[in-house]
Amino acid sequence: MTTSATTAGTPRNGLFIEVAGQRLVHFISGLLIPTLAIVLFLGLWGLGARNVQTSLGQLPGPVKVWGQVIALYQEHQAERQKEAAFYQRQAERNTAQVQGRKYTGKPTFADQILTSLITVATGFILASLIAIPLGILCGMSATLYQAMNPLIQVFKPVSPLAWLPLVTLVVSALYTSDNPAIPKSFLNSAITVTLCCLWPTIINTTVGVAGVSKDLINVSRVLRLGWLTRVVRIVLPSAIPLMFTGLRLSLGIGWMVLIAAEMLAQNPGLGKFVWDEFQNGSSDSLARIMVAVLVIGFIGFLLDQAMLVFQRRVSWDKGAVLR
């Protein structure tokens, strides 16, 4: 910050003003400019939306969308109160009965967010459990990589909408239970997420593992490290930065894919919310869908930031600029 230390002739006052000036510049570029951009965006949105007439009425502007944010929150509160009241009634009515009935009210927006997060986490963790070991193997064996590469390249660009019918049929055929503990719609969505977010992790892990410095490999050869020790002590740590790049890309894709998968699979998450509102066609629907769009974007951003924090913790290269 104090680059002005070289200007030896300036009095302390001048230095102070200069530092204060730099702070101001930082403040402006760090906070003011993004805020201005958001305000400008909201303004343009408000103005533009007025000129779009849809079959569900005028496209809602920021004010109307904000109104729906509050409405959705109130609905959530009301539903929770109804639920609490239900359980209380049940408790009062049949104290003797051991097995109570579950409340079957409709899921609120918050419930749907939670469902989506659980679904994407399941799919993503499943994908990582497959992709990281596979990536390590592909990185260590050029032969395996040659074998896998065409498959990876072909399956990588397949849309979740293409996977979903297949997944649905396979799950229906294999997962036959009269009273399934895990809903099929959840499985379908999670597996579709898995299928779509495998690839960046495989590819990046492969590249990371294959790119281990030759000198470090020579060190491990001189030390005669065993295969497992070599993987754990040398290969994995040096592949971690790229592996995380892959994981972050995968999670981003997974979240994006999830919404589409939920729409089709009718998994009660954000995707289903958007679909139901679209089918519902009330005058509030468009504003509610826009709330969902913003929430989806914001959660995606938070997921990425969470991965970044995790990466900073795990990475040995503290000097690297991670963004």
Footprint of other proteins (CB under 8 A): 213, 215-216, 218-219, 221-225, 229, 233-234, 237-238, 316-317, 319
Q: Which is nearer to other proteins, 112 or 311 (CB)?
A: 311
C-alpha 273/C-alpha 266 separation (Å) is 9
Report whether 283 contacts 67 (CB < 8 A). Answer: no
Rounded to a whole number of angstroms, the minimum distance from the CB of residue 309 to other proteins is 19
C-beta separation of 136 from 209 below 8 A = yes
Q: How far is the CB of 213 from other proteins (least distance, A)?
A: 8
Minimum distance from residue 139 beta carbon to other proteins (Å):
17
Q: Of 7 and 213, which has the nearer Cβ to other proteins?
A: 213
What does R_g of the chain's alpha carbons equal in angstroms?
26
Q: Which pair of tokens denotes residue 184?
A: 């099929």
Nearest CA-CA partner of 116 in 304, 295, 317, 258: 258
Q: How far is the CB of 222 from other proteins (least distance, A)?
A: 5
DSSP per residue over 30-99, as a string? IIIHHHHHHHHHHHHHHHHHHT-EETTEEPP-HHHHHHHHHHHHHHHHHHHHHHHHHHHHHHHH-SS-SS
- In terms of CB distance, is 9 or 319 closer to other proteins? 319
Identify which of residues 81 and 229 has a Cβ nearer to other proteins in the complex. 229
The smaller minimum CB distance to other proteins, of residues 298 and 316, is found at 316
Name every residue whose Cβ is closer than 8 Å to that of residue 311 and which is 6 or more positions away in sequence. 241, 244, 247, 248, 322
Nearest distance in Å: CB 125, other proteins: 25
Q: Return the number of the residue (22 or 315) whose C-beta is nearest other proteins.
A: 315
- Return the number of the residue (193 or 247) whose C-beta is nearest other proteins: 247
Angle (deg, nearest 10), helices 270-280 and 285-314: 170
The CB-of-224 to other proteins minimum distance in angstroms stands at 6
Instruction: Report the b/e string of 135-167 with b at 16+ CB within 10 A.
Output: bbbbbbeeeebeebeeebeeeeeeebeebbeeb
Distance (Å, whole) CA 309 – CA 169: 38
The three-class DSSP label of residue 220 is: helix
Q: Which is nearer to other proteins, 21 or 226 (CB)?
A: 226
What is the closest distance, in whole angstroms, from the C-beta atom of residue 135 to other proteins in the complex? 19
In angstroms, rounded to a whole number, what is the distance separating the alpha carbons of residues 40 and 32? 12
Q: Is 224 left (phi over 0), alpha (psi -120 to 50) or beta?
A: left
Q: Between 301 and 316, whose beta carbon lies closer to other proteins?
A: 316
For residue 212, the minimal CB distance to other proteins (Å) is 11
- State the minimum distance, in angstroms, from the CB of residue 239 to other proteins: 11
